């Protein structure tokens, strides 16, 4: 009976190459984006409003241009940035989350603006979100913030429209957004000189679910 051949080092399979820390972090952020509300809106450029924008009826804003006179322009500012062309809105079904969001069409490419003021109001005009957005030059992959706005032109190496942004707001049950209630976004563009859009632009109402 022939003797079994002795195993050599060449018979041992090569173990898989271990991930570097940077590769592992990239994988984690990619997986997080796949389950975050932001990803649903990032992947839907060009989705226009399907209803009429809400006439702003907000009251008791405490931050940003919505807390000022609608026509206010800061002293010394020759021209404030234009209002967004339109703001769309829709809801998405996310596991364990109430999620609303949409797109913002800009008069110029996104890199023109230093950021924006982002508000979400309920149908009665109560402010649910009052957030100043600063321009970011990073990639939004991995952003799991519950609320935000991101312009495609703020980061390189993508084929999305340069004159669009996407916005989102989400929370678990019991958070600021409530199941079955209707909301709308109100967005003002900012310039580096400190000025904001004169009236801002609103989205149609959208029901959170």
Cβ neighbours around 64 below 10 Å, total: 18
pLDDT value at residue 63: 95
Can you tell me the distance from the alpha carbon of 8 to that of 22, in angstroms, rounded to the nearest whole number? 35
Residue 178 lies in a domain: yes
pLDDT (mean) for 84-104? 94
Residue 47 lies in a domain: no
Triad 40, 204, 163: Cα angle to 5°: 60
Helices marked H in 36-158 — which ranges?
A: 37-42
Residue 9 lies in a domain: no
Residue 35 lies in a domain: no
Which residues constitute the domain of residue 160?
87-209
Residue 129 DSSP SS3: strand
Residue 184 lies in a domain: yes
Can you tell me the distance from the alpha carbon of 200 to that of 68, in angstroms, rounded to the nearest whole number? 12
Can you tell me the distance from the alpha carbon of 57 to that of 40, in angstroms, rounded to the nearest whole number? 28
Number of structural domains (the chain) is: 1
Can you tell me the distance from the alpha carbon of 134 to that of 190, in angstroms, rounded to the nearest whole number? 9
Q: Examine the pLDDT at 72 and tell me if it is beyond 50.
A: no
Q: Examine the pLDDT at 31 and tell me if it is beyond 90.
A: no
* Predicted confidence (pLDDT) per residue in 152-209, tens digit: 999 877 899 999 999 999 999 999 999 999 999 999 999 999 999 999 999 999 999 9
Residue 37 lies in a domain: no
Residue 139 lies in a domain: yes
Whole-structure pTM value: 0.79
Residue 46 DSSP SS3: coil
Can you tell me the distance from the alpha carbon of 88 to that of 104, in angstroms, rounded to the nearest whole number? 7
CATH code for the domain of 123: 2.60.40.4070
Structure-token match 């500012």, residue found: 77
Residue 93 lies in a domain: yes
Contact 48, 199 (CB under 8 A): no
């Amino acid at each position: 009976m022939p003797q079994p051949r002795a195993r050599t080092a060449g018979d041992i399979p090569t173990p898989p190459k271990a991930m570097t820390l940077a590769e592992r972090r990239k994988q984690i952020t990619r997986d997080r984006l796949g389950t975050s509300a932001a990803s649903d809106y990032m992947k839907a450029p060009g989705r226009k409003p399907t209803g009429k924008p809400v006439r702003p009826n907000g009251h008791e804003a405490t931050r940003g241009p919505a807390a000022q006179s609608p026509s206010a322009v800061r002293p010394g500012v020759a021209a404030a940035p234009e209002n967004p062309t339109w703001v769309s809105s829709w809801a998405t079904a996310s596991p364990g989350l109430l999620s609303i969001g949409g797109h913002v069409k800009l008069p110029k490419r996104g890199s023109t603006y230093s950021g924006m003021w982002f508000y979400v109001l309920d149908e009665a005009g109560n402010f649910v979100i009052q957030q100043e957005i600063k321009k970011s030059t990073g990639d939004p992959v991995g952003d799991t913030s519950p609320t935000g706005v991101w312009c495609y032109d703020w980061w390189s190496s993508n084929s999305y429209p340069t004159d669009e942004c996407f916005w989102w707001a989400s929370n678990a049950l019991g958070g600021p957004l409530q199941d079955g209630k209707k909301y709308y976004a109100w967005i003002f563009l900012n310039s580096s000189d400190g000025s904001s859009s004169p009236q801002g632009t609103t989205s149609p109402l959208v029901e959170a679910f």
